[in-house]
Chains A and B, each alone.
Chain A
C-alpha cells in the first residue's frame, strides 16, 4: 500500500500499447512463466509430457488444492489470509462421515460437509471482522482448533468409504466424464464461479476495494466485515468440496486429509500474481499457478531428477514467479 507516497509528477510515457500492457502485465507475466515451465518439462521429458496420461493425472490431483486456491485468492485480495483451510478439509469431512453413517446417504453427507465448511468460514470471519484479530493469527489458531476437534470427534480413526462408490454423489464428485476425471470439470466450473464473483459481482468489487484501501472502503459505505466474512465462508465451502472429492476418490477418510495442501495452495495463489498486501490478484493467475505447482512434482521425476529435488524446484519456481510479478508491476504500473 502506497499511502505515504506523494503523487509526484512522473515521466509518463503512455501509448496505447503500454496502456494495454499496463492493464494486462500480470496476466501476460504468468502466462509466459507458465509456458516457459511447461516447455522446459516437454523438452526435458517429451515422452511423459506429450502423452495424455500425465494430463489425466493432473486433471484429478490439481483440483484438490486449486479449487481452494481460487477462493483463497479472493480472501487475500480483500487483505486477509486463511491458513485454516487444511483443517477445514478434515473437520468438514467429519460432518460428512457422521451424516453419512446416520442417514446412509452419501449425498446428505456431502451437503453436511459443505455446511460444516461454511460454518468454519463463518467462525474465522467472526474472529477476524467482529473480534478484530488479524486473519493470519486467527487462522493459525483455527487451523489447530479445527484439526484438534476433528481428532477428538473421530478418536483419530480413519473411515473406509468403499461403500459410497455406487452412490450418485460418488459419480458426481469422483467419477469420470469419458476418460477425464470429473474433478477437472469441477475446477473449471469453480474457476468460472470465482471469476464471475470477483469480476462481475458486488462481492468482488467490494473485496478489491477493501483490500486496496480499507479506509476508503469504510468511508464509501462498503460493508467490509460482511464482504470479508463471506469470502472466508466461500473458502471454507471450497475446502469442504475439495475434501469430499478427495476422500470419495480415495475411498477413505483420514483425519489429516488436508495435510500437504497448505503450501501448494498458498504457492498457487502467489505464483499467480496475487499481492499479499491485498487489492491485486486474478483468478486466471491462480488457475495457471495451480497447474504450475501441480506440474512440478511430476515434472521433476519425469525429467529424470530424483524426488529430492522437488522442494528445491518448488522454491525456485515460486521465487522466480513472484519476482517476475514484482518487476512487471514496477515497470508497467
Chain B
C-alpha cells in the first residue's frame, strides 16, 4: 500500500490542564475517505486543527507521505496539500467570489500587487466548469452573502480543488444544508476519491458519513474508541456501537462480532432499537 498520505501517531493535546486529545493515532490512505465521528467535545475539531497546523500537539508525531513533519503550522500544512472546507468559517461574506476563491493565496506580482483580472477570469471559469453556477447574475464580483448554503459549500470545495489539495478536510459540511444540497455534497466527496485525493469527513451524524466513507473513526472524549471499515459493518451495527461508546466509552466487539459476526441476532436488536 506504500506510505500513508497522512499518519498521526500517539497525539495528545491539552488546553489549560484539560486533556482534549489522549494518545490518538489515525491513518489516511491515498484515495481514502475517512469519516470522523464523535459527539461535541470528543476532540474532533482539535484533531483537525492539529492536522491543519493551527494547533501543535503536546505529544505525538505527524507524518505526511511517510515523512515526519515537525512544527507543523498553517503554511506548512497548506504547502503539504491540506485544505479545509468549513461550513461557515471559510468564507468572507461581504467580499466578492473572486476574493474568496483566492483568499490567502492571491495572484500577485513580486511587489504584492494583485492581478485582479487574472483572478476574476479564473473565478468565472471555475464557476462555469466546476460549480455549475450558470446564472448570469452570479458573477465573480457577487458577494458571498447572497449565496445559498449549498453554493457556499461548492465555493469552498472548488477552492480546495483549484489549489490542488491532497487532503481535503470537510468539517461538518452538512450543517444547515437541505437534503438536496447534502446529496450534492456527497457526490462531491465521491469525486474526491475518484480524483485520487484523500478526505476526512467530520460529522456527528453517522447517516451523512456512512455512505461516503471507506472507514469510520469513532472519537470519544479525546480517544479513538474504534475504527470500522464501512464494507464490513452495517449502518445498524455501527449505530449500536456508537450508542454503547456514548454510554460507556468503549464497546465490546469481542463478544458480539469476532465470534460469528454478522449474525441475524445483532441485526434484530438494532432494528428494535431504531423503532
| B244 CB to nearest A CB, Å | 33
Interface string of A188-200 (1 = CB under 8 A from B): 0000000010011
Q: Which residue of B lies closest to A13 (CB)?
A: B137
A53 at the interface (CB under 8 A from B): no
- The residue from B54, B112, B136 contacting A201, defined by CB atoms under 8 A apart: B112
Interface string of B77-90 (1 = CB under 8 A from A): 01000001010111
**B window 81-136: CB within 8 A of A:** 84, 86, 88-96, 99, 102-106, 108, 112-114, 116, 135-136
Q: How far is the CA of A23 from the CA of B138 in the complex (A)?
A: 11
Can you sample 6 A-B contacts with CB below 8 Å? Answer: A1-B93, A15-B137, A202-B114, A205-B103, A206-B104, A333-B94
Is B103 within 8 A of A216, CB to CB?
yes
Q: How far is the CA of A218 from the CA of B78 in the complex (A)?
A: 12
Interface string of A127-142 (1 = CB under 8 A from B): 0000000000000000
| B271 CB to nearest A CB, Å | 33
Interface string of A19-45 (1 = CB under 8 A from B): 100110000000000000000000000
Is A219 within 8 A of B54, CB to CB?
yes
> Contacts A22-B143, A217-B104, A333-B143; is A200 near B92 (CB within 8 Å)?
no
Is B92 within 8 A of A279, CB to CB?
yes
Is B52 within 8 A of A219, CB to CB?
yes
> Contacts A216-B92, A220-B103; is A333 near B54 (CB within 8 Å)?
no
Q: How far is the CA of A9 from the CA of B143 in the complex (A)?
A: 16
Q: How far is the CA of A209 from the CA of B114 in the complex (A)?
A: 15
Is A202 within 8 A of B106, CB to CB?
yes
Q: How far is the CA of A218 from the CA of B86 in the complex (A)?
A: 13
> Contacts A19-B137, A216-B86, A217-B104; is A205 near B54 (CB within 8 Å)?
no
- Identify 4 new A-B residue pairs, CB closer than 8 A, beyond the known A199-B114, A219-B54: A2-B93, A16-B136, A23-B96, A275-B94
Most buried by A among B137, B143, B149, B152: B137
Is A219 within 8 A of B74, CB to CB?
yes
> Contacts A213-B89, A216-B90; is A22 near B142 (CB within 8 Å)?
yes
Most buried by B among A1, A15, A19, A205: A205
Q: Please indicate the chain A residues that have their CB under 8 angstroms from the CB of B143 in the complex.
A: 22-23, 333
Is A209 within 8 A of B99, CB to CB?
yes
| B136 CB to nearest A CB, Å | 7
- The residue from A7, A19, A215, A219 contacting B152, defined by CB atoms under 8 A apart: A7
A: residues with CB less than 8 A from B are 1-3, 6-7, 9, 12, 14-16, 18-19, 22-23, 196, 199-203, 205-206, 208-209, 212-213, 215-222, 275, 279-280, 333
B19 at the interface (CB under 8 A from A): no
Q: How far is the CA of A213 from the CA of B96 in the complex (A)?
A: 13
- The residue from A12, A206, A212, A218 contacting B94, defined by CB atoms under 8 A apart: A212
Q: Please indicate the chain A residues that have their CB under 8 angstroms from the CB of B141 in the complex.
A: 23
Is B112 within 8 A of A212, CB to CB?
no
Q: Please indicate the chain B residues that have their CB under 8 angstroms from the CB of A199 in the complex.
A: 114, 116
Q: Please indicate the chain A residues that have their CB under 8 angstroms from the CB of B105 in the complex.
A: 220-221
Is B116 within 8 A of A220, CB to CB?
no
- The residue from A22, A209, A215, A280 contacting B89, defined by CB atoms under 8 A apart: A215
| A181 CB to nearest B CB, Å | 31
Q: How far is the CA of A22 from the CA of B138 in the complex (A)?
A: 11
Is A212 within 8 A of B106, CB to CB?
no
> Contacts A15-B137, A221-B75; is A209 near B92 (CB within 8 Å)?
yes
Q: How far is the CA of A213 from the CA of B94 in the complex (A)?
A: 9
> Contacts A216-B89, A279-B95; is A14 near B148 (CB within 8 Å)?
no
Is A218 within 8 A of B74, CB to CB?
yes
Q: How far is the CA of A3 from the CA of B176 in the complex (A)?
A: 12
Q: How far is the CA of A215 from the CA of B147 in the complex (A)?
A: 20
Q: Please indicate the chain A residues that have their CB under 8 angstroms from the CB of B95 in the complex.
A: 208-209, 212, 279
Q: How far is the CA of A202 from the CA of B106 in the complex (A)?
A: 7
Most buried by A among B74, B92, B113, B149: B92
- The residue from B86, B92, B112, B178 contacting A208, defined by CB atoms under 8 A apart: B92
Q: Please indicate the chain A residues that have their CB under 8 angstroms from the CB of B104 in the complex.
A: 206, 209, 217, 220-222
Q: Which residue of A lies closest to B137 (CB)?
A: A14
B256 at the interface (CB under 8 A from A): no
Is A212 within 8 A of B149, CB to CB?
no
B139 at the interface (CB under 8 A from A): yes
> What are the 6 closest A-B residue pairs judged by CB atoms, nearest first?
A220-B104, A7-B149, A212-B92, A14-B137, A202-B112, A221-B74
| A218 CB to nearest B CB, Å | 7
Q: Please indicate the chain B residues that have their CB under 8 angstroms from the CB of A209 in the complex.
A: 92, 95, 99, 103-104
Is A208 within 8 A of B99, CB to CB?
yes
Most buried by A among B78, B96, B136, B146: B146
